[in-house]
A = this chain, B = another copy of it.
Amino acid sequence: MARNPQTVRSERTRVALRRAATDLFAAQGVEATSAEQIAEAAGVTLRTFYRHFPSKHDLLFADYDTGLQWFRKALVARPVDEPVVESVRAAIFAFPYDVQALNQVAAFRATELDPDRIVGHLRQVEADLADAIVEHLERRTEASHRLDVVVTARVLAAAVFGAMEVWMQREERSMADLAELSHATLTALERGLDDRGMFRHY
C-alpha cells in the first residue's frame, strides 16, 4: 500500500505546471495568462492545476514563501535566553535572500500585477512572520502575558516589513541597502524592547 503523498506522477505534473506557467508568464505577462491556459499547456485540467497550487499567483511567490520556512528554522536554532530582537535579526539575515526574486516582486508591484494582489500577499507573509515569532516567544520558559507576546511579535514583523517597503520603493535596490535598513530598524527597536522590560508591565 502506498502512503507517500508525493508520488512521481504528481511531481511530474507539478513540474510541468510550473514550467508552463513560467513560460507563459514570460511570454505574455502574468495577468494576461489564465489559469486554464497554464493547465492546458501542461496537459492537465484546470482543477488539477488548483490541486497543486493554491492560486495562480502563488507561482510567483514560491521563493518568498520558502524563505519563511528558513526563517522559522533559523529562529528555533537561536538560544532561548537571547534577546528577541537579536534572534529575529539573526534569523532574518539567515534568509537565503534572493535579490532576483525580491527585485521581481518590487518590479511587479510597480507595473503589471494587480498591486492589491501582491500587497495582500506581502501582508500574508508578514503575518506568518509574526506567527513564527509568537511561537518562538512562547517556547521560552518565562511564559509572558499574551499581550506581550502578540504585540512584540507583530511590532517586530511590522518593523522588518516596513524597512522592506521602504527598500522596495527605491529606485536602486541592492542587497546591502536592504540589510542596512533592516539592521537600523531592528537596532532602533532593540532599545525599547529589551533593556527596559518593555511590554512586560501589563
Beta-carbon contact of B192 and A163 below 8 Å: no
Interface residues of A in 161-202 (CB under 8 A from B): 161-163, 165-166, 169, 181, 184-185, 188-189, 191-193, 196, 198-199, 201-202
With the chains together, A196 CA to B127 CA distance in Å? 28
Q: How many residues of A contact B (CB 8 A)?
A: 34
Which chain B positions have C-beta within 8 A of A199?
Answer: 185, 188
Q: Which residues of A contact B (CB under 8 A)?
A: 119-120, 123-124, 127, 146-147, 150-151, 153-155, 157-159, 161-163, 165-166, 169, 181, 184-185, 188-189, 191-193, 196, 198-199, 201-202
Query: Can you list 15 A-B pairs, Cβ within 8 angstroms, ordered by A?
Result: A146-B166, A147-B185, A151-B163, A153-B162, A154-B162, A155-B159, A155-B162, A158-B158, A181-B202, A184-B202, A185-B199, A188-B202, A191-B192, A192-B192, A192-B198
